[in-house]
Copies of this chain bind each other. A is one copy, B any other.
């Protein structure tokens, strides 16, 4: 019932363990005949090397750890898919940690580089806490930030500000002068995307000679309901906006439905632009910002694997670009 070990194989094949190790490691310098004997013994015993023992001996686990916030959101799921896709080409395995509640955050980061459980870490949409950075200072381990940035750490991010700027400029170009921003609240430790979008939004208005109004920036729940509530409130005002830029397609979907429910036509009465370009967006004919979500994950893995395999170089900062996908809801 015990799993056969390399020693069992060696005995079975009548060779030393070193030779077996060379054979299963696919290393050269072993006589063809010997190799064959060993392979036969491996097959007969159905031997499989222990990844744990190998990891201890080589100081390498062939595992990547990824820290990701609540995996419900399409954004993270897409990033994960990108990570998975990139991983398929390597022989690394994925260890996943999610931070669903802020309280979990400290524990997760404390255990993060913990005793080399993984060869590298991918942190998605989170700002690493100071304690973690301090630890890194002493024993630098390969870490890559995805959809976040930090001067000392390698990262792959998207410029949310530039993306929002472009989206709002497009609406301005269409003649809109009252444009509302409907976004979700920033996550406790990842102000990133909503903050960037807000800056881009304000900048676009300012550029056009308009004064951004705080009352046009609405924070709504991250769901269609949130979007619907927000648009209802906006349209109930004496001077309603003629366009809405939403911080997520999910909220944009609610904006669309809410506007229609109130008898407004889209895009004639209200133009709507979303963010992310999830699968649903195409179906809804939603004009939106296409964020390279999978690419974020893929590049993250590339950078991490490079960092693991190459000697520590200076942190790289990759910035991916988003593009505006014009469909029906903006009237462009």
Shortest distance from the beta carbon of A57 to any chain B beta carbon, whole Å: 9
Closest to A53 in B: B56
Within 8 A of B (CB), among A89-140: 93-98, 100, 104, 114-117, 135, 138-139
B81 touches A77 (CB 8 A): no
Asked if A33 CB lies within 8 Å of chain B CBs, one says: no
Question: By the criterion CB–CB under 8 Å, are B115 and A3 in contact?
Answer: yes
A61, A80, A85, A117 pick with most chain B CB within 10 angstroms: A117
Q: How far is the CA of A114 from the CA of B47 in the complex (A)?
A: 9
Complex: how many Å from CA A53 to CA B117?
A: 10
The answer, yes or no, to whether A210 is at the interface (CB within 8 Å) is no
In the assembled complex, the CB of A270 is this many whole angstroms from the nearest CB of chain B, namely 19
Interface centre among A96, A104, A257, A280 (most CB of B within 10 A): A96
Asked if A152 is an interface residue, CB under 8 A from chain B, the answer is: no
Cβ of A75 under 8 Å from chain B: no
Given contacts A46-B135, A84-B71, A84-B98, contact A280 B51 (CB under 8 A): no
Query: Counting CB contacts under 8 A, is A22 at the interface?
Result: no
- A35-76, CB < 8 A from B: 46, 48-53, 55-56, 61, 63, 71-72
- Give the distance in Å from the alpha carbon of A53 to the alpha carbon of B114 in the complex: 12
Q: A314: which B residues are within 8 A, CB to CB?
A: none
Contact (Cβ within 8 A) B280 A224: yes
Contacts A71-B77, A77-B72, A94-B96: A115 and B84 contacting too (C-beta < 8 A)? no
Given the interface pairs A96-B94, A283-B223, the reply to whether A138 lies near B46 with Cβ below 8 Å is: yes
Tell me if B51 and A117 are in contact (CB < 8 A): yes
Pick the contact of A139: B1, B72, B104 (CB < 8 A). B1
Whether B61 pairs with A84 at a CB distance below 8 angstroms is no
Are A254 and B225 in contact, with the CB atoms below 8 A? no
Q: Digit string of A1-42 for contact with B (CB within 8 Å is 1, else 0)?
A: 101000000000000000000000000000000000000000
Q: Decide: B139 and A3 in contact? CB cutoff 8 A.
A: yes
- The answer to whether the Cβ of A88 comes within 8 Å of any Cβ in the partner chain is yes
Q: Contact between A100 and B84 (Cβ–Cβ < 8 Å)?
A: yes
- Is B71 a contact partner of A61 (Cβ separation < 8 A)? no
Answer whether residue A279 sits at the interface, using C-beta atoms and an 8 A cutoff: yes
Given contacts A63-B95, A95-B95, 4 further A-B contacts (CB under 8 A): A52-B56, A71-B77, A71-B81, A72-B77
